[in-house]
Amino acid sequence: MKISLNQLTIAKARQGFLSGAFTARDLTEAYLKKIEEKNADINAYLEVFDDAESQAEEADKIIKKKGAESPQLCGIPLVIKDNILIKGRCVSAASKILEGYRATYDATAITKLKNHHPVFLGRANMDEFAMGASTENSAFGVTKNPHDETRVAGGSSGGSVAAVAADLALASLGSDTAGSVRQPSAFCGTVGLKPTYGSVSRYGLIAMGSSLDVIGPIGKTVEDCELLFSAMAGRDPLDSTSIEHSERVKKPMPPFTIGVPGNFVKEGVDADVVANFRETLARLERAGLAQVREINLPLLPYSLPAYYTIIPAEVSTNLARFDGVKYGAHVSGNNLLEDYLETRALFGHEAHRRILLGTYVLSAGHADAYYNKATAVRALVRKEVCAAFSGKDAVDVIMTPTTPTPAFPIGEKAQDPLSMYLADIFTVIANIAGIPALSVPSGVTVRDGKSLPLGVQLMGAHRREDMLFAVGSAIEQVRG
Partner 1 sequence: MDQKELKHLAELARIRISDEKLEALRGDCDVILKYVSQIKGVEGGAQTMEDLGLVHNVMREDGEPHESGIYSEELLREAPEREGQFVKVKKIL
Residue from 252, 262, 305, 409 in contact with partner 1 (CB under 8 A): 305
- Tell me whether residue 450 is one of the annotated catalytic residues: no
Q: Which amino acid is at 239?
A: D
Point out which span in 23-31, 161-169, 261-269, 323-331 binds partner 1 (CB under 8 A): 323-331
Point out which span in 132-140, 223-231, 285-293, 371-379 binds partner 1 (CB under 8 A): 371-379
Q: Does 374 bind partner 1 (CB under 8 A)?
A: yes
Would you tell me how many other CB atoms lie within 10 Å of the CB of residue 435? 25
Q: Does 2 bind partner 1 (CB under 8 A)?
A: no
Distance CA 137, CA 152 (A): 11
Confirm if 450 and 148 have CB atoms less than 8 A apart: yes
Where would I find the H helices in 199-269?
A: 222-232, 262-266
- Tell me whether residue 112 is one of the annotated catalytic residues: no
Residue from 339, 412, 466, 476 in contact with partner 1 (CB under 8 A): 339
Which SS3 state, helix, strand or coil, does residue 29 take? helix
Distance CA 351, CA 137 (A): 9
Point out which span in 1-9, 165-173, 276-284, 377-385 binds partner 1 (CB under 8 A): 377-385
Which SS3 state, helix, strand or coil, does residue 261 take? coil
In angstroms, what is the minimal distance from the CB of 27 to partner 1?
A: 33
- Of the candidates 180, 185, 303, 442, the residue annotated as catalytic is 180
Residues 197-216 that bind partner 1 (CB under 8 A): 197, 211
Which of the 8 DSSP states describes residue 325?
S
Where would I find the H helices in 287-319?
A: 303-318
Helix (H), strand (E) at residue 473? helix 465-478
In sequence order, the 6+-apart residues with CB closer than 8 A to the CB of 189 are 147, 165, 441, 444, 453, 455
Is 291 or 317 the residue whose CB approaches partner 1 more closely?
Answer: 317
In angstroms, what is the minimal distance from the CB of 252 to partner 1?
A: 25
Residues 51-110 that bind partner 1 (CB under 8 A): 101-102, 104
CA distance readout (Å), 171 to 74, 76, 185, 224, 471: 13, 8, 12, 8, 21
Q: Does 234 bind partner 1 (CB under 8 A)?
A: no
Longest Cα separation, the chain:
71
In angstroms, what is the minimal distance from the CB of 341 to partner 1?
A: 4
Q: Does 22 bind partner 1 (CB under 8 A)?
A: no
Q: Does 377 bind partner 1 (CB under 8 A)?
A: yes
Q: Does 324 bind partner 1 (CB under 8 A)?
A: yes
In angstroms, what is the minimal distance from the CB of 122 to partner 1?
A: 21
Which of the 8 DSSP states describes residue 102?
B
Among candidate residues 267, 268, 46, 32, the one with its CA nearest the CA of residue 157: 46
Q: Does 355 bind partner 1 (CB under 8 A)?
A: yes
Distance CA 207, CA 224 (A): 26
Distance CA 366, CA 372 (A): 9
- Tell me whether residue 383 is one of the annotated catalytic residues: no
Give the residue numbers annotated as catalytic, written as ranges. Answer: 81, 156, 180
Interface contacts to partner 1, rule CB under 8 A:
101-102, 104, 197, 211, 237, 240-241, 299, 302, 305-306, 308-309, 316, 320, 323-330, 335-337, 339-342, 344-345, 347, 349, 352-353, 355-357, 359-360, 363, 369-370, 372-380, 382, 417-418, 421, 434
